[in-house]
Structure formats: structure tokens, C-alpha cells
Amino acid sequence: MTSTKMFEQDLPTPEPETPCRPRQPYRFSTLCATVENPSQKDQFGSSSVPIYQTATFKGVGGQYDYTRSGNPTRSHLEHHLAKISSATHAFAVSSGMAALDTILRMLKPGDEVIAGDDLYGGTNRILTYLKTHGGVAVHHVDTTKPDTLLPYINPEKTAMVLLESPTNPLLKIVDLARIAADIKERAPNAVIVVDNTMMSPYLQRPLEHGADIVYDSATKYLSGHHDLMAGVITCNRDDLAKQMGFIINAAGNALTPFDCFLLLRGSKTLAIRMDRQQATSMLVAQMLDRLGFKVHYPGLAEHPNRDVHERIADGYGAVLSFTTGDKALSERIVGATRLWGISVSFGCVNSLISMPCVMSHASIDPATRAARGLPEDLIRLCVGIEDPADLLDDLERALLEAGAITLTAGGDSHQRYVRTIPSEGTAISRAVQKLAFNESVGYTTECNEDREWFVSAPGKVILFGEHAVVHGVTAVAASVDLRCYGVTTPRHDGKVSVHFIDIDSFRQEWEADELPWDAVTPVRVGDFHSDTLDHKLVDAITTRALSPEVLAKPSARQACIAFLYMYMIMAHGGNRPSFNFSARATLPVGAGLGSSASFSVCAATALLLLYSRIQLPAQPAPTTHGHVHVSHGGRRAIPPALAEEVNRWAFVSEKILHGNPSGVDNSVAVFGGALSYTRPGFGRKAGMIPIQGFKSLKFLLTDSRVPRNTKQLVAGVAATKEQEPEFVNGLLSAIQDISDEAQRALADPQLSRQTLLSALSALIDENHDHLVKLGVSHPSLESIRSKTASPPYTLSTKLTGAGGGGCAVTLIPDDLSEFNLRELMAALSGDGFVPYLTSVGGSGLGILSPYNQPQPLATPPETPHEGEAGTGAVELLRDTFAGKATADLSAWADSLGRWLFV
């Protein structure tokens, strides 16, 4: 590609010498070198624009009065920049980020921005700030695929679309013209903004392709010497120019006169510099490609969307990047260069080398970088104007010194350099997938989808504070050693299906592509789900994805909605996994022991793994001569960041299942143990506090087998509170006192065992009495309570969970004989109840480790139809999982290999 095409514009050029031979419009390099502003002729005829180094101008009513508002040197510069950018308006500000800040200040709370997922680190940083503090929603999408923007376009809310092409630092190509047309058709009021820093006006002028605003970090190519900081904004719309002009004047970030002079001088050589820089860049890219490195450069024949780039740009630019397969190797290469300066930025006459993930893009957290496909081992080269032979020689020597290449004899007996590490796809996949978890080795999305995942989560018992927790009272809860389990199995047929074994062995499947994707506003990797559900998506799933038969089964219906909601809203990069999700529990379903929360945790974890939104940590180093590895049986193997991400999504599922959950159930199911939980928004310090001392206590859980409606019970208490606020608030205050007393008792190491048990028994009775007054008990629960309180047992029992049926929890003291305990359990069973003897405070979320499993997990080319046996040599987990007796399920799961727990 060359840059000699005619530059069409109507700005003035010198008058023709004779009427018989009119002049043609000047070409770009001539426009760069020729600074002409007919409206501002210098009174002395200077050949270089003077520096008006003054803060103020004398007189009244003149064109200039204060340099913050305007300066002749800046006016000359802005006229020149508009001329070479196909623009009517141009503004020069103090930096590229100041340019972007000026543009973003036109947004208001409630607006939505669509941006690329491969952005300059500073751009990502300011967008994150705007999202967090400015009330602006930001959607990061893969802009190299124009169709991925369509689900995010909202005619009323989409205010701005922010694009880069090529992107920095992966040199992805974006079809600016097509995206601009799509946006204008669907959201006419949206402003299309393009960061053109990588190309400069010499190689690409986005205003010609439908952009409304273009900005450059003029520190780079426009200046070319890295001796000033500057940003440039260009546009053709008078309304946008008026807004930005006001902001620049009000904020005072216009470029100083001296820097305007430097930028004007640097821009004159833009064309000749870039011709040299991109010619050398092609030589560097070809050398690295020939050696076998993965090279990102639009000039290479195999570069993705190269045809798009050639349609919208006049050259390939002077930035390229490549991967080595190993972060440490990349660091050695960068450190071994001599002529290539180690520095951030680009566009200088001097060549630069850097590692974006530890330099320019370090402000993007590692998990988000990995999710967006930004390799940790990536090296970026910014080519200058040095002699190409010197640059190639210096880079070759650095590769050799670092051990990336070696000298060997070829078949023709001539020595040549060859790469010394495996090609991409082996070692490189390790570097690409490293996340924030101590540089752990992860799995690609495809790998995650092509294996079975086995997850589990415990149930919970709320000992103090149920119902009251919804209204801000502290709840005391603990995990129980009854668990829900979930298994994902690949299908490879474009369908997604569920099998809810405990809900009458309910089965349902969907064609993944036929789900209501048009109703989805995905939550991008690294972003949080909003505090409110997307009711548009919930309604679309309910009305368009669920059959009348499913809608007629309330439990299955809500579970399907929660599952599909997370499956669809987590989707990113066009990936729609085809798999089956089976779930069952050793917990009684609907008994108030958190079965829905443990289901939510299992479903959320499975989907997060399939979408590679979470990654498991690497195996710990084994015991060696110089290192001792202490085995914890998988406990605490799942890092807090992963657990917190699962908990956020499980809470989303709980909102679908219960409407207004407290958040304590899913928190216990994820983190396990025992904790106090206070819901935010009620004036008390919110959050979770771990509680010690539960593991030594035994409880009897008794399922009344009476179904209950949690939403209705919670709503009933809220209605009573509204009608009788003084009465209900008094009960809530008393329950808070109970929770506080229980926490103090459990945390006191000096309290005797007998005193602790007596105190907890009394608090249990007191708490139950208050719940009866709130109207959430049930005759079946009172019958259980009466049975356990009768001689010879005399035990304290209370309802747990929402009440209205469900479960009761009974504290088992040390002096209750084994005979009496068995007798009590038999008596309860004889009355039609189901008792469970359990300990509390055990592990939370569990994931069967993919490392060193005693039996391999199946990845067949095609999954058999539901109920059919697999044809491969390895039995699918799903088949055994569905057929195991409930009493044997936990032991079987434990026998499969090492589990990783929170």
C-alpha cells in the first residue's frame, strides 16, 4: 500500500499560476509541509508561525483576550490539523487523555457507551472511572465483529460508541464504516468516536468513514519526537464542536502556545517519517513471522480483517506486536535490546519496545486482560526512523541472547536462525491463560466446554435472625454437611439442556441459537451485574423459551429461568456452549435448608467455568528436598476472588428464585463455615464476619415435609411491618439482640462448654417465640418443637429458613445419650417427618479438581441422547450421577478424586 492518493478537500491552496493550467488539490505530504491559514497572515511574513507566548491580549472586543480561550499560535495549529484530517473543526489540548476526557464530558448519568475490548490502558481506566462514579454504563465488546455490537445498541440510551482501529496492542482491525452505518441506523443520536492515534491522519481519516469525532494522542505520530504532550480532537459537526469548545475553555486544558509551536513543527514531517517507519515495520514483522512467532501486524497477508484495513486506511502503520510463548522469555528479550528503547508510548522517531501487560496496560486487572485475550507475554514494537538494518540486527541479537532463537545449519549447509521454543498452541497457551490467581494455568473456553465439570455447594441452616435479616437484622448462619451437586456434560449438537433430578427428574432442552438473544444485554467479563434484574430478559425467557408444560411446574419453571438467564447474560465473544447441566442434592428440597441457594451456586459456578470467566489455580508445588507442601485436603484451594465472583452470580440467581433474598443463603453456600451476615442499606455495618466454634456442635434438622412459599412469607412479614411498624420493629430489635448474644457466646474462649450450650438453647427458644409472633411458624413445626422438648429429651428447637413449613433445627447437647437420640429420630420419622443428624460449619463451594483425576472425564465427539449410555470407553459422570442412590451420592463424589474447596 502507498499513500499517494489524492486528498480531496475544499480548503484553500495557492492560486493557480495561469488560468490555462489550474492546479490540482495538493497531496497529503504537501499539505503537511505547507502551513497556510489565509485568515491569519503574519504581519511580517514569517515563514514559521510565531509563538505568541502571552497569557493575555490588550484591548476590548478583539479576537483574542486570554490564552486559555484562544491564542494565535493555537489557531494556526488547529486550522492546519483540520486541513489534514478532512475536518471542519479541530481542537488542540494538553494530552490524548485530555482529548478523550473532553469528549466523555458530553455524557450524562444514565447514558450507555459501547467500547472495544482491546483498548489502550488509559482509555480503559477512564471508562472504568466513568462507570463507577459517573452513572454511565460501559459495554466492552469485540468490535472486530460488527454484529457483536448489535445487542448493546439502545436507541434511547446508547449515547456514544468508542472505537479504535487498529487496536492497541493486538492490532485488531475494526470496520469503522460498517459499524458507523449500523449505529446511525439503529441509534441516530449516538456519537461515534474513533481513537486514530495508531494511524494518524496520514494513514487513516475516520471522519471520511462515518465517525463524528476523531481524536489522536498528538504526543505520538503527529509530533513524532516525544518532546511534548498533546491531544487533538477533530469533527465536522458544529453542535459537537460547540460543546467541546465550551468544555475546553471551561476546563482550561487547551494546549500551550509553545507546545502548539512544537506540534505544528512536528506535523510538517508526518508523512515522510511514517513512510520510513512503516516500511521498516514490514521488514521487522516479516522477520519475526519467518522465525515462527505469532505476529500481529496488518501488513502480513494472514492478519485477520486485512481486507477491511486496506479499504479504510492508506498504510499499515508502524506498531506491531508478537508473542513468545513465555512471559519470562519475553522479559529477557526486552531487556536484551540496545537500540530499541524500553518505554511506553509510540510514534517517536526512535524505536521503542515494551510489554503492554506490565507497562501501558498494567492498569487493567490481570483477569480482565486474560478474558479479553491479551497475552501476558506480548511484546510491542514501535518502529522509528533508524536504519532498518540496525534495527533488525539489534532485535535478532536480543532474540539470540534471550534464548528465543538459535543458530543452526540448514539443509543447504547455510547457517540460519530458528526458533527454539514450541510454536503457538503449546507453551503459548499457558501465557495467554494466566490470570490474577498467582499466574495459574487455566483452560481456554473450548477446553472448558469440552470436558465435564463436577461442582457442589452445601446447604445452610440459619440459627438466628431468619426473616429479620431481610430488614437489616444480623443473621447467624452455618453450612451443613448436606450438599447440592451439579455436573456439566458436553453435547456438541448446538443444544443446551437441564436435568433437575430432585424436581420429579425434570428434563428440558433448547436450541442454543433459538433462545431470545435479542433481549440480552450481556454482562462483559470483568463487569458486575447490576443490582436489579434485567426484567426484559426474564420476560423473554418466560414467554419465548418456556413451554406451557414447564410454566405449569413452578419449581422447574423458576430453576429454568435462573439457569437460562445466567447462561445468556454471561455469554461473550459469540460463544454459546452446547452442554447438559444435571443437578441433585442430598438436601431436602424446599425445606428451608438453602437448597435453592446451593443450586444457584452450582449453576453459577458451572456457567462461569464454561465461559472461562473464572479459572482454577494451579496445583501447589509438591514436597521436594527444599520445600514442604502441607496438604489441606483441598480446603481453601479456591481463592477468595473466584469465590466472590461465584457469590455475586449466585445472588443474581437467588433474586430470580425468591424475588428479594437476603443474600445470606448463597453466601454460606459459597464460603461455607459459619458467619454473621448483615444486609446493606439499613444503617448497620453490612457484610459477613466468620464465626468460629460451630464445628464442635451437633444439630438435628427435621424436615416437616410441608411445602412453603418463601416469597409469600417474606412479603407477609413486610406487609405486617408496614401495618404495625412499632410492633414488628420491636421484634426485629429483640432478634438483633439475640444474634449479638449468640456471636459473643461463640467467640468467647473462656466460656465453659455447658454455659455455651445452655445459652444457645435459651436463645433458640427465645428466637422461635419471636418468629411465631411474626406469623411464620406452622403447626407441623410446632409439633416437631413439642416432640423434641418433651421428656426425656427436653431439647430446644426453632424453625429455620422462611418457616411456614420446611425445617426445624434442634441443638443436641453433649449429655443426650445415643439411645435417646435414635429414639427421638425414630419418633419423628413415625410422625411423618424426616430427621437428619448433621454437623455445621464445613467447607463451602467445591469443584472437582481437573488435575490428576483417578478417572478421566469424557469428551466424546457427540454426547448420547438423554438416558442413553455412552459409546466411548470412559463412562460419563452424568450417567452415574443420575443413577446413584441419594445415600451413596456424597461418598461416590468424594471417591472421584481431589476436590477444591473455598
Give me the active site residues, please.
68, 120, 195, 220
Cα 136 from Cα 160, distance rounded (Å): 11
Q: Which residues contact 11 (CB under 8 A, 6 or more apart)?
A: 82, 83
The answer to whether the CB of 67 falls within 8 A of the CB of 257 is yes
CA–CA separation, 127 and 132 (whole Å): 9
Q: What is the per-residue DSSP string for 567-604?
A: HHHT--TT----EEEEEEESSPTTSSSSHHHHHHHHHH
Dihedral sign computed on CA atoms, order 749, 754, 755, 760: positive
Can you tell me the distance from the alpha carbon of 710 to that of 803, in angstroms, rounded to the nearest whole number?
8
Phi, psi of 250 (to 5 degrees): -70, -40
- Given CA atoms 591, 594, 600, 602 in this order, what sign does their dihedral have? negative
Helix axes 72-84, 257-267, angle to 10 degrees: 30
Residue 545's contacts (CB-CB under 8 Å, 6 or more residues apart) are 510, 515, 516, 560, 564
Q: How far apart are CA 800 and CA 480, in angstroms?
A: 13
d(CA 61, CA 877): 83
> Is residue 30 classed as helix, strand or coil in its secondary structure?
helix
Q: Strand pairing of 453-464 and 475-490?
A: antiparallel
Phi, psi for residue 9 in degrees, rounded to 5: -165, 165
| Cα 203 from Cα 5, distance rounded (Å) | 11
Its sign, for the CA torsion 37, 41, 46, 49, is: negative
Alpha-helical segments (H) within 187-342: 200-203, 238-251, 257-267, 270-291, 306-312, 327-336
* Host H or E run for residue 507: strand 506-511
User: Bridge-partner residues for 699, per DSSP?
Assistant: 811, 838
Q: Please list the residues that pair with 115 across neighbouring strands.
A: 140, 162
Chain Cα centroid distance, residue 492: 26
Q: Is 414 exposed, middle or buried (0-12, 13-18, 19+ CB in 10 A)?
A: exposed
Asked whether the beta carbons of 29 and 35 are under 8 A apart, the reply is: no
- Return the bridge partners of 382, or none: 319, 352
Other C-beta atoms lying within 10 Å of the C-beta of residue 222: 28
Question: Crossing angle of helices 640-658/664-671, nearest 10°?
Answer: 150
**Please, which residues have CB within 8 angstroms of residue 388's CB and are 6 or more apart in sequence?**
279, 280, 283
Contact in structure between 528 and 652 (CB atoms under 8 Å): no
Helix (H, G, I), strand (E, B) or coil at 393: helix
Spatial separation of the C-alpha atoms in residues 888 and 896, rounded to whole Å: 13
Considering only CA atoms, which of 83, 86, 77, 78 is closest in space to residue 30?
83
Question: What burial class does residue 132 get, using C-beta atoms within 10 Å of its C-beta: 0-12 exposed, 13-18 middle, 19+ buried?
Answer: exposed
CA distance 296 to 172: 8
Task: Determine how β-strand 579-585 pairs with β-strand 495-500.
Answer: parallel
